Amino acid sequence: MKKPEIIIITGLSGAGKSIAIKSIEDFGGFCVDNMPAVLIVKFVKLILGSDYSKSIIALGIDVRSRGFMDSIFEILKKTKKLGYNYKIVFIEASNSTILRRYNESRRRHPLSAEKESLSDTIRKERKKLAPLREKADYIIDTTGISPHQLKQKLRGALFKKGEKTMSINVTAFGFKYGIPENIDLLIDTRFLPNPHYDSRLSSRNGNSKTIEKFVMSGKKSHEFVSRYKDLLDFLVPNYAGEGRSYLNIGVGCTGGKHRSVVVANSLCRHLQRKGFKVFAVYRDINTREG
């Protein structure tokens, strides 16, 4: 995706706009829902030069904003002059689907009026948004699809094929202090050479080249790491293909200071070379015992 760029999420009430916004947040975007159209230009000026300026910016806007259809296209032109391109994603669904969703949720349609049926309100909104739908870059119909499938459609629309959107956290930890919560893949390195028992090495941690050399000194260590990298090469793209936003990998040794850190670093470098967003966490690296 070329940056800077703003994704405008709009469409019919009850069609799935909020789910779309949350999905883009999962992709690493900075999202604001229910943004009044008149504030878009001010918002863009505020984020210019900030840490968010190079992020995916997604704005959820809809027909509830006063003067929405009269001003939105002029506002988007001004946004483009500030240096941001934009794409419009229009979320819709069949009248019967939206009607069923409102009946199930028992929520009030934002455009509902007295003495007007919900069916009439839905048709009124569809007619009002028709000019915006015609200008949309992507139209996604959520009739008969799940939130997961909507997320997949958004990924396909907004990102190039093969572009990595899943974040991976690799946590080095010590089993003696407990397994971290929400771990998806757990790796036990307690069979690898342990520097803890060498008085010259025990005070150092796995970020030291000396410790790395010690832990990876034997054929067993190299074979283990190599085989696990092969496993990750199979697993990670398949997890990403299922629409996962993040993956938590736990790498444990006894104390979380030596072996787990060395292996976690090696896996992080490998996954980064594959183009994934990877974050290393050393949970127990500063504990006294390794």
Q: What pLDDT, on a 0 to 100 scale, did the predictor assign at position 78?
A: 86
Q: What pLDDT, on a 0 to 100 scale, did the predictor assign at position 3?
A: 47
Helix pair angle (17-26, 147-158), 10° resolution: 60
Q: What pLDDT, on a 0 to 100 scale, did the predictor assign at position 216?
A: 95
Q: What pLDDT, on a 0 to 100 scale, did the predictor assign at position 114?
A: 74
pLDDT by residue for the chain (290 residues), tens digit each?
Answer: 444 578 899 999 999 999 999 888 888 788 888 888 888 888 888 877 676 665 678 888 877 666 667 788 888 888 888 877 888 999 999 999 999 998 888 888 888 877 789 899 999 999 988 988 998 999 999 998 888 888 888 887 887 665 566 789 999 999 999 999 889 999 999 999 999 888 888 889 999 999 999 999 989 999 999 999 999 999 998 888 776 778 999 999 999 999 999 999 999 999 999 888 899 999 999 876 53
Q: How far apart are CA 229 and CA 236, in angstroms?
A: 10
Instruction: At 162, list the tokens.
Output: 């093969």
Helix (H) or strand (E) holding 171: strand 167-174
Q: How far apart are CA 128 and CA 150, in angstroms?
A: 24
Backbone φ and ψ of 67, nearest 5°: 70, 20
Q: What pLDDT, on a 0 to 100 scale, did the predictor assign at position 225?
A: 96
Q: What pLDDT, on a 0 to 100 scale, did the predictor assign at position 71?
A: 80
Q: How far apart are CA 267 and CA 277, in angstroms?
A: 12
Q: What pLDDT, on a 0 to 100 scale, did the predictor assign at position 67?
A: 63
What are the structural domains, with CATH classification, of the chain? 5-158 (3.40.50.300), 167-282 (no CATH)
CB of 163 closer than 8 Å to CB of 1: yes
Cβ-proximal residues to 30 (8 Å cutoff; 6+ apart), any chain = 47, 52, 55, 56, 57, 58
Residue type, 239: Y
